[in-house]
Every structure is written in structure tokens, then in C-alpha cells.
Amino acid sequence: MTRFALVLWLLASLHPAAAQPAGAEETIPAPPAAAPPRPVDLARPQAPTATAAAPALRALPAGLEALPDGGARLRFVAGREALPQGAEGSLAEFGRRIAAGPSGRVTVTAQASGPAADISAARRVSLARALAVKQALAAGGVAPTQIDLRPMGRTGEALDAVDIQPPEPPPAR
């Protein structure tokens, strides 16, 4: 056997098709299809996972309720666009605390409970509420360009409220 023939024989013996007799093809099953990802709930912003609220945001000013994800909620009177009485000062104080914390974007998510028959009117009410909260936060020192508004209109929760999500603190090293 010549060297050339020997090399060809070695290469052929290493090839998997050459190891099986002709006509005995092995069928390899296809890998299982990956499960599709869960749909994202666009009605609410994604809550940060396992992050603690910044120390300045733990004790909220009067009129604001703490949310489990570190944000705050301001409740409104049904059908009213104006800030509740005394809320402007509380929001300005909250804005000062946010401005003193980590930099990043602030998300303002506004909801309205009605009217149920007119989704456009509910969206306009929630937009007016979000703009009023944005103005009060800006008066406290948060840059208006860093505040994202999400006027949701009427949601499944049917709340008359605005949720304020401050920037996430940087991850601990």
C-alpha cells in the first residue's frame, strides 16, 4: 500500500458515514423546540428584581404610598386631573430626594378609573395627571428630560393614581 492510499484509508475510516454499511443510515432526532418566551405585560413598567429602595426614598413624604418595587403612588380623586391638595409640596420633596440619589430615568405611570365607555377621555385624564406630577417633580430638582411619562388611561386595576418609579440604584459590587 502506498502512503497516499494509506492516508485515504485512514481518512475514510475516520468519517462516520464510512463506518456504517451502505443503506443503514441513522436518523438523529431533531432537538426539542425551545419554549417561546412569556409575553411581556406592557400595562406596567418592569419592576426591578431584588433591589432595595435608596435610603432617601424609604420614608416617603405625606400623601405618597410606598410601592413594593421601591416606587411611590399618589392617589387622585376620580375624574380630577389636578394634583390633590398638599401633593405638590410632597412631590417636590420626593423630587429632591430622587435628584440627590443615583442618576437615571424616572418613570411616571398614570391611570384613570373612568369613564369606562370613553377610553380616549381616560387616556387624556391620565396624561394630564402625569404632566402635573412631572411638573412637581421637576420643581423638586429632577431634570424634566429624565422623566418618562406613561399615561395608561383605564387599566384593569381601575385606579385613580400615579405611580412614580425612581431610577434603580447601581448594583452592589
Residue 129 is assigned to a structural domain of this protein: yes
Rg (CA), the chain: 29
Q: What is the pLDDT of residues 48-73, one digit of tens each?
A: 544 444 544 567 788 888 888 889 99
**Residue 33 burial by Cβ neighbours in a 10 Å radius (0-12, 13-18, 19+):** exposed
26 found inside a domain: no
- Residues 75 and 144: their CA atoms lie apart, in Å, by 22
Q: How many domains does the chain have?
A: 1
> What pLDDT, in 10s, does the model give residues 39-54?
777 766 555 544 444 5
pLDDT digits (tens, 9 = 90+) for 98-111: 998 888 999 999 99
Share of the chain above pLDDT 90, in %: 36
pLDDT score, position 141: 93
The pLDDT value recorded for residue 23 is 57
Please name the helix (run of DSSP H) or strand (run of DSSP E) that holds residue 164, with its range, or none.
strand 161-165
The answer as to whether 3 is a domain residue is no
Contact 127, 109 (CB under 8 A): no
CA separation for the pair 164, 75 (Å, rounded) = 11
d(CA 27, CA 127): 60
- Which range marks the domain in which residue 59 is found? 55-165
User: Would 11 be classed as within a structural domain?
Assistant: no
**CATH number of the domain that 154 lies in?**
3.30.1330.60
| Average of per-residue pLDDT across 2-21 | 70
**pLDDT (tens digit per residue) in 125-136:** 999 999 999 999
Asked whether residue 20 is domain-assigned, the answer is no
Q: Is residue 8 part of a domain?
A: no
Number of other residues whose CB lies within 10 A of the CB of residue 133: 27
If you search the block for the grid coordinates 398638599, which residue do you land on?
86
Residue 142 falls within a domain, yes or no? yes
